Amino acid sequence: MFPDIKNILYATDLSENARYALKYASVIANRFEATITVLHVLEELSPSFSGMVSEIVGKDRWADLKKRNKEKIIESIRTRIEDVCNETNQHPQGYSFIVQKIIVEIGHPADQIIHYAEKKEFDMVIMGSHGQGFFSEAMIGSTSRRVLRRCTKPVLVVRLPESV
């Protein structure tokens, strides 16, 4: 018996790898008549960087800047994700798919991906991979590796082919 895939969590960092992985998500969603929830995670600023900036501009001003800019950044990312999804959805060689929801979170990417995959009713996770450095052909990105190791749901990690 094959698993019933109805809800896909597609994790994106808006990179070329992630855009390529969206093609796989769209094919699988189309084949199983599944919906896709898109998750993008912004990494939090390190405490040392945040502390350094707050010392320079002042704690109250830094808190105000973060709050005002957070909303703008999240909306900007949400718009970029919508554009990428629409572009992929309308590609003549692609498959149409339904985006259930677009989520933009702040935190540690692997932790947030796992949190959403485990706590919500997703049947699988699809994400791109970044192999970096000298061993890029033998390795996958650290976020992908962490999600693969810790997630109890099926995870499809899609590498960008060299020809793209």
Q: What are the tens digits of pLDDT across the range 7-60?
A: 999 999 999 999 999 999 999 999 999 999 999 998 876 667 667 766 777 778
Total tally of structural domains belonging to the chain: 1
- Which range marks the domain in which residue 129 is found? 7-44+80-158
Domain contains 18: yes
Determine what percent of the chain is predicted with pLDDT higher than 90: 51
3-state secondary structure at position 102? strand
Span 34-46, pLDDT tens digits: 999 999 998 876 6
What CATH code is carried by the domain that includes residue 87?
3.40.50.620
> Which structure tokens are listed for 85?
């999804």
Domain contains 115: yes
Lowest mean pLDDT among 21-30, 82-91, 149-158: 82-91
Domain contains 20: yes
Domain contains 24: yes
Domain contains 74: no
Tell me the C-alpha distance between 41 and 108, whole Å: 7
Tell me the C-alpha distance between 46 and 107, whole Å: 11
pTM above 0.85, yes or no: no
Q: Which residues contact 87 (CB under 8 A, 6 or more apart)?
A: none
Domain contains 85: yes
pLDDT of residue 50: 66
Domain contains 61: no
